[in-house]
Chains A and B, each alone.
Chain A
Amino acid sequence: MIASRTHSRWAPARSAAWFALGFIVLRLVYRVLFLGANGSGLVLYSGRPLHLDGPFRFISILGPVTTGGLWNALLDALPFAAGILVIGVLVSLVDVRNALARVATWHLGRGVLTALAIGVSTYPSLVTTWRSMRQVHRLRRERGWLSVLGPLFERTLERSSTLAISMEARGFGRSAHEPELDCSAPLDFSDLSLAHSDRWFLREATASARLGELILLTGSTGSGKSTLLRAIAGLHTHGSREQATGSLSIGGADRFTTSVATSSAFVSFVGQNVRDSFVAATVRDELAFALRMQGMPAPAIEVRLREVVQALRLDELLTRRVEELSAGESVLVALGAALVTRPTLLLLDEPLADLDANQATHVVTLLERLAHTTLMTIVVAEHRTRALSQLGSTRWHLADGRLVAAEACAEACVKPSAEAPVGQPARAESTISALVGPNGSGKTTKLFKMALSDPAGIALVPESLGDFFVRDTVAAECSRSDHTARAAIGTTLKLVRQLIPLDNAVFSTHPRDLSAGQQLALAIAIALAAEPEQLLIDEPTRGLDATARANLVEMLNRVSEYVSVTVASHDAGFIELMNARAQAVNA
């Protein structure tokens, strides 16, 4: 109902017409009820009016009704009704949503107008999130909608801070006279240590980047790749639990005293949850946001947009609303929005995770070209080293808080070969089947359709694991799972322990604070607690490094001895690794 309202252009005019009609009817009703429909013409009703008394002595009820009286009432109501209709038609003609996006770039009233634009563009994505969370909760056999409200509200507040960072990083709140940064020294740090919640992710690291250098930042999950990138982007002190020692400079300026808005023209950062960082309503406005914040004139913005659209092949997406984009398309748009300012330093946190093979190859080629021809310095954190192995890039490898640079890395670093199963006997045929296909081909839709058609027999572990969990500790999550699955107390806990070794401290943490691999194990255990005949898993490899993937394959093989397992993935390497029977989905 809500969707149809937002997408039809003439909807405002139509609802205004209904309002206007309702208004006229209301007027007639009041006239008849309160002695106002008396006049010339045919007498339709000729009762005597009833006079009230007390404080209401001025009021009389009912009384004669004539055609002339009704006609007068109608004429009397028309001007106001016409006013309603005119406003509705105007709103339809102007397309308020797009007008808002334009207006949000004015300097006068920028704060209020930007907030208004954010509100209007967040609305549909919130509706989508609400629906998908309801769906995911149904998989957990959670019935009421109150259980969704709490997590949804928390996620919404999280979204607002991601959004704020994204706005600032693209120049919101930038004053006209910002100091220029030195392009010849893009990035330099020495003895840099970074901590988050009392855990030191980086210890006394020293490195620097040259102009046009393409750096591949590797390391296992949780090794601190994101922490380092966020620190370079100037986001490390946005939370309250973060600490840093040593020096870090970008463009010759101290990162810790240079505001994010000041460096917005120098450095661009594409984080992991790009969808939460979209500020504008349409792809075109999203791409132009940073340039508008810089105060660039419209014709120049057009030129830059055309450049980015061509480089990333975004032609067909340009007029789309951001909430309609698939995960892969969102990454491409976010990349475009980062490139549009022609930054000196570009930071990308796992940009390939949501891209299919074709898109990934294209992006990798583009990055290489940018580094070579425009001397852009690029730092990419990535698990999918295979896709990037062709690059003649510098490598920084993170392990146990140490940063190992290119030369010393030869032996220790992750190589493409590490992705192949090591020391495993080649199995004839795994019992796991795989659902493959490019992004947007409908794998997820198909899985949900299967799972919801037979909730008792088929269990689904969705891609958005954060939504799958409904309690705030692992222990509570397990007992909730026992309850909804009507299983004996302790069933889920036992299953988790069979899948992955966990120490006891883990049970009091929030499920969303677990590592990607641990989250997956917990979700699979929850799904298995109800003893389904078939287990479906959607895109399980997101955020997993080579080791974690090998563990996952082993885990899935063990699970597949009890239930039949189907995995949907766009990651050909992983499917090969599982040795699964592949089945393609066509859109």
Chain B
Amino acid sequence: MNFLRQTIPSRLEEAEALLLRVRTFLQAAGASSIAFPVELLARECVVNAIVHGNRRNADNSVGFSLRVGRKWVRLEVSDEGAGFPWKDTIRKRSGVRSRGGRGLHLCRLYADRVSFNQQGNRIALWIGRTRKES
């Protein structure tokens, strides 16, 4: 079984439980060589969905799915928020003294492909299993 899907309420404690499950899942799926970047991207997207998307409203859910294929890992995270203007934000980069704004930068850095739905409340990332080191 190389597919993990879960819906969680918008609480960081719930996210932590999901992300620890992702760690175990990646090992079991034989993807340990890319476990760090995949878990990191999952963390960035899930925490963004809770904090910025759903604004920590636990009544709103975060959808998560992860598929480990032979050549690719595909990660998708959605929230129930209004979305954000991803076309304006995706190319911005944080300065070395800036505390925030690194989540999307990490997505660009570690994922081979990043896409959003039009509204900007669902992100999908592809990570190649034979990708070069960052």
**Pairing of A with B:** no
B: which residues have CB within 8 A of A?
none
